Amino acid sequence: MHFPDDENGQLLAEIADAGVDLTSMQTIDFYILFEQKPEAEKFAEAITSDELAPSTELAKCPDTGVWEVITRVKMVPDHSLLSQTEQYLESIANSHNGYGDGWGLMAEEE
């Protein structure tokens, strides 16, 4: 497979090289960071009510003290769809003083 020459493309290439089937539905974790817990909680509440991302987890990074909302989205990991989803989540996060910190995919255990 060929992927665009950007961060998402590089990550997709690494995931494909690891043997993950990028043509099937996967659970993608999108990471959104916040300095303040109340803002993280408001974002988590807003995004949980969204049909796109009903599953979220809020945690405090022990190393940095930054609050992290992990938003899980089931999707086929297509480059343009991933980029659009990142932009969408970041647009909501920005209104709560949050910012995107990328995404990841954990291979399903068989």
Average pLDDT over residues 88-93: 94
pLDDT for 1: 73
pLDDT for 108: 58
Alpha-carbon distance of 5 to 13, in angstroms, equals: 10
For residue range 17-57, list pLDDT tens digits in order: 999 999 999 999 999 999 999 999 999 998 888 877 778 99
Q: Which residues contact 50 (CB under 8 A, 6 or more apart)?
A: 92
DSSP 8-class letter at 109:
P
Closest CA to 53 of 87, 85, 95: 85
| AA identity, residue 96 | H
Helix, strand, coil share of the chain (percent; to 5): 35, 30, 35
For residue range 59-81, list pLDDT tens digits in order: 998 888 999 999 999 999 999 99
pTM above 0.95, yes or no: no
